[in-house]
Amino acid sequence: MQIIPPGYVGTIKALMRIAKAAYPARWTREAVTEAEANIWSALGKTLSGDLWRAHLEAQVYPAPPLMIERICDYHEAIAFLRQAMAAGDVVATVIDPLGKPQKIPADIWAISGDDELDNEFLNGAVWLPEQDVQALCERVAREGLVDDDDIFGVDTVANPAPAPPDLSLPKMSHQQLVDFLTAERAAGRRRPAQKDNNKFCAIRGFQPVNNGEWRIELVNIFGPRPRGRPKTEETGGK
């Protein structure tokens, strides 16, 4: 475990702060079981940070519903922080092979495929200025982590909340959900929004799946949703 110098925060701690800032009610001491809390606390120390989800799913079983939500929160925090780093909102520092700190150019974070750098990021070996992380947390507390449709100017009055689910329909299995979403991506269709759970399942003759399961498979199959993507690309608008 590296010693982080004063004024800096490791990426694991930063990710936890961002997730908590976005969804504070889900991350209170009362909401997180002791077994789960022990795993979060051990990431980057005695447990590999890049295997964070595997540790949680293997050691906390059955998974409490809120843990599934927290897994989604952490996924969103990862995507958000990397995008903030790629935009230059926060400047990352790593230790080079000679033991010297080196700042990472912002455009490096916009490029995927560097396994070594990704592992350092997920294992907390990337340092971030404390003040930048605090600014990101304050921003997330105001704006949230994931862009919802109203970010793109969708009129919520003209687009009311969806009708309640039809409980007479059969329940969709997890494998059916994976198969349907995989087929959507293979066909080149747009990524469903988080609020599309009910509609997506109903038109296929099923009740909506658990919201946490829906969020996880959206990330697994379509990837994290970038912030600030143009409406025409993500929502099908003009």
What's the confidence (pLDDT) of residue 148?
44
Q: Same domain, yes or no, for 139 and 171?
A: no
Asked if residue 178 has pLDDT above 80, the reply is yes
pTM recorded for the entire structure: 0.66
Whether 113 and 205 share a structural domain:
no
> How open is the CA angle 173-175-178, to the nearest 5 degrees?
115
Element (H, E) at 127: strand 127-129
Tell me: pLDDT of 146 over 70.
no
205 and 130 in one domain? Answer: no
- Pair (167, 139) in one structural domain: no
Q: Answer for the pair 221, 75: CB distance below 8 angstroms, yes or no.
A: no
Structural domain harbouring 200: 154-234
What residues are paired with 10 via a beta bridge? 127
pLDDT by residue (tens digit) across 86-128?
A: 888 998 888 877 778 888 888 888 765 557 778 888 888 899 9
Q: Looking at 92, 111, 143, which one is the last position of a domain?
A: 143
Residues 93 and 130 in one domain: yes
Number of folded domains in the chain?
A: 2
Do 199 and 169 lie in a common domain? Answer: yes
Kindly state whether residue 2 falls inside one of the protein's structural domains.
no
Q: Is pLDDT at 32 greater than 60 in this prediction?
A: yes
Note the pLDDT tens digit of each residue in 181-235. 888 888 888 888 777 888 888 888 888 887 777 877 887 788 765 544 433 344 4
Per-residue confidence at 164, pLDDT binned at 50, 70, 90? low
Is the confidence at residue 163, as pLDDT, over 60?
Answer: no
> How large a percentage of the chain has pLDDT more than 70?
82
User: Residue 149's pLDDT band (boundaries 50, 70, 90)?
Assistant: very low
Average per-residue pLDDT for the chain: 79
Residue 111: inside a domain: yes
Of 10, 17, 12, 13, residue with least CA distance to 138: 17
pLDDT confidence of residue 156: 34
Q: Are residues 118 and 45 in the same domain?
A: yes
Within a domain: residue 211?
Answer: yes
Co-location of 169 and 222 in the same domain: yes
What's at 90, amino acid-wise? V
Q: Do 91 and 198 sit in the same domain of this protein?
A: no
Q: Is residue 149 part of a domain?
A: no
Residues 105 and 195 in one domain: no
The answer on 222 and 108 residing in a single domain is no
